């Protein structure tokens, strides 16, 4: 479904965003979740229109700790187009990080102005920038200068303590990023309560005529739901985050997790575990996989018991042993599907 009312602005560098049919679908950046392994698993079973990295500190990339952070910017050829998301508060470091994104072969750069994590807010970055919104255009300008031909986008929320988009969103729109993605909650709300899609629609109206693309984010259940919310809000794009966990089929029109056989879900879980260990052995702890196990295992007999067992998995071999033993005893398992 294309938004025929949208008009591109020749003064904006859209990069690949201009080539996408609307509404386009994006895999959200999620810390310690959407690493390259997770994105590769997604790419094998469905196809978002764009992938985002986990957010990475600009200050860290411009320090002696750069090498450690480069792990978070790894990606494969199957994850295209791929957008590097950066957080920080210093324009000069956004400039340098944008230049690094060119060197690493990214397709776009995104500025995080919405992360509610306390450690990020203490750095006056992420959602803290909504308290001093006049700084955001400076970050956009510096990133554009360093990005060369790469398009620059922004991810944000509806406000810090309350919804006040009329007070600061025009500053971002006037800075002309290619895209603004709005998570439909405030920083104070975190991830609680319903997403304010009516306010996302207001954001779309505010950007109308500017040529800045607007995408909505928050509680999208599947692709069909995203198409509906895009139609109702007028958003040109949809970003899916938490619902993608344990559900690499989420970007398909049909055939999502609920349509998969239990054996197929467990097969993908083991595939994910093997790929994680192969890629990150000695770099990231295997316990990172536990949050993925929780997401994969639900809605079939014995799910609660299997989740409990997988929380003890030491490595991919141990994980496979647990799953094999579960399947061998399947006929005798309790009918607990939670």
Extract the tokens encoding 156: 């944000």
**Among candidate residues 147, 115, 109, 146, the one with its CA nearest the CA of residue 129:** 115
3-state class (DSSP) for residue 282 = coil
Catalytic entry in 58, 62, 115, 203 = 115
Say how many Å lie between the first and final Cα of the chain, rounded. 36
CA–CA distance, 199 with 185 (Å, rounded to integer): 9
Extract the tokens encoding 221: 């259940």
Q: What is the DSSP string of 72-97?
A: GG---TTS-SEEEEEE-S-HHHHHHH
CB 233 within 8 A of CB 216: yes
CA–CA distance, 90 with 94 (Å, rounded to integer): 7
Active site residue 62: no
Within a 13 Å sphere around the CA of 106, how many CA atoms are in the beta-carbon half?
29
Extract the tokens encoding 105: 């072969």
Catalytic residues: 115
């Amino acid at each position: 479904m294309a938004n025929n009312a949208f008009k591109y602005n020749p003064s904006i560098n859209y990069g690949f965003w201009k080539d996408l049919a609307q509404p386009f679908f994006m895999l959200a950046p999620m810390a310690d979740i959407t690493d390259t392994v997770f994105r590769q698993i997604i790419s094998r079973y469905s196809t978002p229109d764009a992938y985002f990295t986990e957010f990475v500190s600009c200050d860290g990339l411009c320090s002696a700790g750069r090498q450690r952070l480069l792990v978070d910017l790894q990606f494969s050829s199957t994850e295209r187009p791929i957008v590097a998301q950066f957080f920080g508060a210093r324009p000069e470091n956004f400039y340098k990080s944008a230049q690094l994104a060119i060197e690493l072969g990214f397709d776009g750069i995104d500025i995080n102005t919405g992360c509610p994590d306390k450690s990020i807010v203490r750095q006056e970055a992420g959602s803290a920038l909504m308290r001093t919104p006049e700084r955001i255009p400076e970050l956009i300008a510096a990133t554009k200068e360093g990005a060369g031909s790469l398009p620059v986008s922004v991810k944000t929320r509806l406000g810090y303590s309350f919804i006040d988009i009329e007070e600061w969103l025009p500053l971002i729109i006037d800075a002309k990023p290619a895209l603004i993605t709005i998570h439909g909650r405030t920083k104070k709300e975190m991830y609680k309560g319903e997403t304010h899609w009516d306010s996302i629609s207001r954001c779309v109206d505010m950007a109308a005529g500017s040529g800045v693309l607007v995408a909505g984010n928050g509680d999208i259940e599947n692709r069909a739901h995203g198409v509906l919310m895009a139609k109702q809000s007028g958003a040109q794009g949809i970003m899916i985050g938490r619902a993608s966990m344990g559900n690499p089929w989420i970007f398909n029109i049909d055939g999502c997790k609920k349509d998969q056989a239990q054996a197929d879900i467990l097969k993908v879980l083991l595939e994910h575990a093997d790929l994680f260990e192969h890629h990150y052995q000695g770099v990231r702890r295997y316990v990172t996989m536990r949050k993925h196990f929780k997401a994969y295992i639900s809605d079939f007999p014995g799910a609660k018991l299997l989740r409990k067992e997988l929380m003890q998995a030491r490595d991919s071999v141990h994980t496979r042993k647990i799953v094999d033993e579960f399947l061998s005893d399947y006929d005798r398992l309790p009918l607990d599907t939670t």
